[in-house]
Amino acid sequence: MNEYKTLHTLLTERLVEALATVGINSELAVVTMAADARFGDYQTNAAMVAAKQLKKNPRELAQQIVASFQLEDCSLEIAGAGFINFRFSNDFLAKQVTTLLQDARIGVPVANKPRTIVIDFSSPNVAKPMHVGHIRSTILGDSLARIARFLGHRVITDNHIGDWGTQFGKVIYGWKHFLNEAALVSAPVNELVRLYREVNALEESDPVLKAAVREELVKLQQGDVENLSIWKKVVQLSWKEFEQQYQLLSISFDEHLGESFYNEALAPLVERLIKEKIAQESEGAIVIFFHNHPTLLDKPFLIRKSDGGFLYATTDIATLEYREQRWHPDAVWYVCGVPQQLHFEQLMAVARRLGLNSDFRHVAFGSILGEDRKMMKTRSGDNIELGSLLKEAIDRAFQIVAEKNPDFSLEEKKEIARTIGLGALKYADLMQHRMTDYIFSWDKMLSFQGNTAPYLQNAYVRIRSIFRKAKEESETIELGSICLQEEAERALALQLLQFGEVIPAVLFDLRPNVLCLALYELANSFHRFYEQCPILKAEDAIKQSRLALAELTARVLKEGLELLGIGVPERM
């Protein structure tokens, strides 16, 4: 089979040739999907941009481009001040979409220049439960990793867990004096939180206890055998609980190197930064100033406190260097909330000073809000635990599934509920532009109407039911060459062909909501096709063509949702 090219690639290549013929810079060969299908499939404003630069009439330039453009089965039309609209013939689209039946990648190209990408996401703190604030980083990071891998990039996912710091003095003191062994077995992280809170409350009014807590921390930092043993158990218990939640979400990591991993590197790092005149002393502390950086002039980066203690900043610089030495990444993406924007701007400025030239990106995102439009919390003001949120998603989905399908077995109901509930939770997050805050709503995310995971999953299930019915009517199901006679068929075919353009576009600005919107529009197109174009009652050739369109739609929906980390049930 010849190398498959997306429609966008074909048009761009031909437009580059046409622009060269009329003496226009090929960089202006920008093709986009048409904003209104009535005017064409794709469009370009190259003539208008070139006319402005060359001080020429845009419609005249557009006419020259159209005259030089060579691609069979594609008609061009000039609109308005000089837009050029492209429309493919039905026969050409039919041939193109027929080729996708044999393409395991459904038209998605592999990157021409695969990169090594480290994605840093999730990052919970040891001895604390994961909470609602971890959702966006965890789900967004996982989907970006899946998409980048599918495009052929080498991806290393690193969960940079918070497993070091002053809180361990309190946890260790609590472990030694107030530990409930039974509670530690049944709910380890909750017991660790209880210990921390109990000690924290006591030391406020007891200076002797406060000094003892500080001593436990110092002993840990100095390598005391007993305290290190307790710390290791705390880390293991916490990771075990985190891992259970990651497994439920079908998320895994290549590494989960905590802050403690870099401890030995911190002191030598600071001394080297001083020696290289990157860092300097200021009021007893060691800081990095950014004298040549306009937005960071008055925002120094503190890397060692006046008491000798190190900070997140120090650990993050050590992490930068470790990743560079181990993986030689072309890109490092930090999936972390908007409030950390200054920290990452400073960190990336330090990376440049150190001569690290990877593509460092802070993949920032907004907050999840409650119905009161404030940060989502429990009634008592605590963060909502991720585990309870996942359970509630599955429980709510189970009620819906049980109501719709009372005849399903209990195990089948549970499995479908898990797929629908967790899918709904993930999709509700990913469908948003990542920089926006959004209001959390169970009713909206679990709805079978609108831009939701259940709506997309239901479209897939509807297609599978068509094939089950077809199998009841005939032992063999044939998928024939696709022919496009009705407008609903054409619209569906065009969207199937554009899947290969959408996936790379997600990584352009690291926004999975681009894929969510494409899948939603595809499901809408399929439902219009389903309503307007009978499938099983059609004549043989038309039936086979429409079954092929349905099969491709199911494959694209399934693949697209899986790239978002969302499963599809066969029945629901």
Q: What is the pLDDT of residues 455-480, one digit of tens each?
A: 999 999 999 999 999 988 876 788 87
User: Residue 28 sits in a domain of what CATH number?
Assistant: 3.30.1360.70
Question: What separation, in Å, do the N-terminal and C-terminal C-alpha atoms of the chain show?
Answer: 37
pLDDT of residue 376: 79
Instruction: Kindly state the tokens that stand for 478.
Output: 């044939």
The whole-number average pLDDT for the span 65-86 is 94
Of the two residues 480 and 394, the one the predictor is more confident about is 394
The DSSP letter of residue 409 is: -
Task: Examine residue 136 and state whether it is found in any structural domain, yes or no.
Answer: no
Residue 257's closest CA among 335, 120, 158?
158
d(CA 128, CA 149): 31
Of the two residues 80 and 520, the one the predictor is more confident about is 520
Residue 18's closest CA among 73, 57, 76?
76
d(CA 236, CA 234): 6
pLDDT of residue 561: 98
Cβ 486 vs Cβ 532: under 8 Å: yes
Task: Examine residue 421 and state whether it is found in any structural domain, yes or no.
Answer: no
Q: What is the pLDDT of residues 128-155, one digit of tens each?
A: 999 998 999 999 999 999 999 999 999 9
Residue 101's closest CA among 465, 429, 493?
493
Neighbours of 106 (CB within 10 A): 19
Point out the domain boundary residue: 229, 248, 267.
248
Q: What is the pLDDT of residues 515-551, one digit of tens each?
A: 999 999 999 999 999 999 999 999 989 999 999 999 9
Helix (H, G, I), strand (E, B) or coil at 369: strand
Q: What is the pLDDT of residues 429-461, one digit of tens each?
A: 999 999 999 999 999 999 999 999 999 999 999
Task: Examine residue 494 and state whether it is found in any structural domain, yes or no.
Answer: yes
Residue 563's closest CA among 102, 155, 148, 254?
148
Question: pLDDT grade, residue 400 (50/70/90)?
Answer: very high
Question: pLDDT grade, residue 379 (50/70/90)?
Answer: low
Task: Examine residue 223 and state whether it is found in any structural domain, yes or no.
Answer: yes
pTM: 0.94
Do the strands 359-363 and 331-335 form a parallel or antiparallel pair, or are they unpaired?
parallel
Neighbours of 110 (CB within 10 A): 11
Look at residue 279 and tell me whether its pLDDT is greater than 80: yes
DSSP 26-63: GGG---EE-SSTTT-SEEE-HHHHHHHHHT--HHHHHH
d(CA 285, CA 209): 28
Point out the domain boundary residue: 209, 232, 248.
248
The whole-number average pLDDT for the span 144-171 is 96
Q: Structurally, how many domains does the chain consist of?
A: 3
Across 3-12, 249-258, 494-503, least confident range: 3-12
Point out the domain boundary residue: 220, 248, 276.
248
pLDDT of residue 472: 86
Residue 106's closest CA among 533, 506, 546, 549?
549
CA atoms within 13 A on the CB side of 267: 4
Task: Examine residue 334 and state whether it is found in any structural domain, yes or no.
Answer: no
Q: What is the pLDDT of residues 293-346, one digit of tens each?
A: 889 989 999 999 998 989 999 999 999 999 999 999 999 999 999 999 999 999
Helix (H, G, I), strand (E, B) or coil at 465: helix
Question: pLDDT grade, residue 1 (50/70/90)?
Answer: very low
Cβ 168 vs Cβ 127: under 8 Å: yes
pLDDT of residue 474: 74
Cβ 130 vs Cβ 242: under 8 Å: yes
User: Residue 487 sits in a domain of what CATH number?
Assistant: 1.10.730.10
d(CA 502, CA 177): 57
The whole-number average pLDDT for the span 389-407 is 95
Please tell me whether residues 78 and 171 are part of one structural domain.
no
Question: pLDDT grade, residue 383 (50/70/90)?
Answer: confident
The whole-number average pLDDT for the span 256-269 is 96
Cβ 255 vs Cβ 332: under 8 Å: no
Instruction: Kindly state the tokens that stand for 392.
Output: 């509630």
Look at residue 2 and tell me whether its pLDDT is greater than 80: no
Task: Examine residue 206 and state whether it is found in any structural domain, yes or no.
Answer: yes
The whole-number average pLDDT for the span 227-250 is 96
E strand residue ranges, 391-529? 438-439
Look at residue 385 and tell me whether its pLDDT is greater than 60: yes
Look at residue 381 and tell me whether its pLDDT is greater than 90: no
d(CA 442, CA 282): 51
Question: pLDDT grade, residue 377 (50/70/90)?
Answer: confident
Look at residue 106 and tell me whether its pLDDT is greater than 80: yes
d(CA 398, CA 396): 5
Q: What is the pLDDT of residues 45-66, one digit of tens each?
A: 999 999 999 999 999 999 999 9
Please tell me whether residues 461 and 553 are part of one structural domain.
yes
pLDDT of residue 230: 98
Task: Examine residue 176 and state whether it is found in any structural domain, yes or no.
Answer: yes
> How much of the chain, in percent, has pLDDT values that exceed 90?
89
pLDDT of residue 380: 62
User: Could you tell me how many residues make up the chain?
Assistant: 572
Residue 13 domain boundaries: 7-88
Rounded to the nearest integer, the mean pLDDT of the chain is 94
Three-state SS sequence of 63-104 = HHHHHHCCCCCEEEEEECCCEEEEEECHHHHHHHHHHHCCCC
Task: Examine residue 68 and state whether it is found in any structural domain, yes or no.
Answer: yes
Instruction: Kindly state the tokens that stand for 212.
Output: 């003892």
b or e along 426-438 (b: 16 or more beta carbons within 10 Å of the residue's beta carbon)? bbbbbbbebeeeb
**Which residues are bridge partners to 158 per DSSP?**
120, 255
